[in-house]
Amino acid sequence: MTVEVLAFIGGTGPEGLGLAARFAAAGHEIVVGSRSPERARQAADSIKARVPQARVAGVANQEAVRKGDIVFLTIPFAGHRDTLEALASAIGGKTVVDVVAPVSFEDGRPTAAAVPEGSAAQQAQALLPKAQVVAAFHHLDASRLARVEQPMETDVLVCGDDRAAKEMVMALAEKIEGVRALDAGPLANSRYLEEFTALLLSLNKTYKAHTSLKIVGIRSGPKG
C-alpha cells in the first residue's frame, strides 16, 4: 500500500502539529483534523509557515479521516473513546497510529492513568475492530518536534499486532530525521509505552528538560 496522505485527528495540538510538520518536511501530504475546521486551517497555515514546501490542508476530523491513507490520533485521552466512536465508520479498515498517553496530574505530578482495556491503543483496537491499530511516537516531545530544522536523535518504539501495519509505521517513523524505529512487540505492550510517558514528563519536570528515549545495545534488525 502506498502511504502518501497522513491525517491527524486533533492535529491542532502541539504533538499532532509537530509530527505533521516533520512528515510534511519529509514530503508527505498532511491533513490536519480538528473539531473546528477554522482551527484546522490555522494549524495548516502554521505548518506551511514552518515548512514552505508543505502540502497541507486543515479540515474537520471526519473529513481528515476520509482523506488520510493512515490516521494519527493526537488527542487527549479524555476525548479518546468519544472521538473514536464518532469516527469509527469513517476509519473502517485503515491503519491507525495511536500516540495518546493517558496521563493525569496528581498534585502536579504526572501519573499514568489506568485504562480498562489495558492501554489507550488497546481501547482504540476494541472500538475499531476492522482497523490495524499501531502504538507509536509517545516519547517524542512536542517542543523538540517543533524545531523542524533539528534532527530528533531518538528512538521510536512501535507496538502492533498487524505485522504489515507495524512495519509500515516503522518505515514512516524513520522518515523523520534522526529517528530509529524499534519493534516493541504486540499491541499489548503499548501500555508500557504509554505509562513510560508519565516518567519522561516527571523527568522533564525535575530537570526542566525535554527528554526523549534512546535504547542502547541494539545494533542490527530483529532476529526471528
Ligand X SMILES: NC(=O)c1ccc[n+]([C@@H]2O[C@H](COP(=O)([O-])OP(=O)(O)OC[C@H]3O[C@@H](n4cnc5c(N)ncnc54)[C@H](OP(=O)(O)O)[C@@H]3O)[C@@H](O)[C@H]2O)c1
Chain positions contacting ligand X, by CB under 6 A: 10, 12-16, 34-36, 39, 74-79, 83, 99-101, 103, 138, 141-142, 197
Nearer to ligand X, 52 or 91 (CB): 91
Nearer to ligand X, 99 or 172 (CB): 99
CB of 20 to ligand X, least distance (A): 11
32-55 exposure pattern, b = at least 16 Cβ within 10 A, e = fewer: bbbbebebbbebbebbbebbeebe
CB of 194 to ligand X, least distance (A): 8
Residue with cell 517513523: 173
Nearer to ligand X, 8 or 170 (CB): 8
Q: Which of 56, 41, 38 is nearest to 148 (CA)?
A: 56
CB of 35 to ligand X, least distance (A): 3
CB of 6 to ligand X, least distance (A): 15
With H, G, I as helix, E, B as strand and everything else as coil, classify residue 204.
Answer: helix
Any residues with CB less than 8 A from the CB of 126 and at least 6 apart, and which? 117
CB of 39 to ligand X, least distance (A): 4
Distance CA 160, CA 178 (A): 22
Nearer to ligand X, 76 or 186 (CB): 76
Copy the grid coordinates of residue 160.
502492533
Nearer to ligand X, 61 or 95 (CB): 61
Largest distance between two CA atoms of the chain: 48
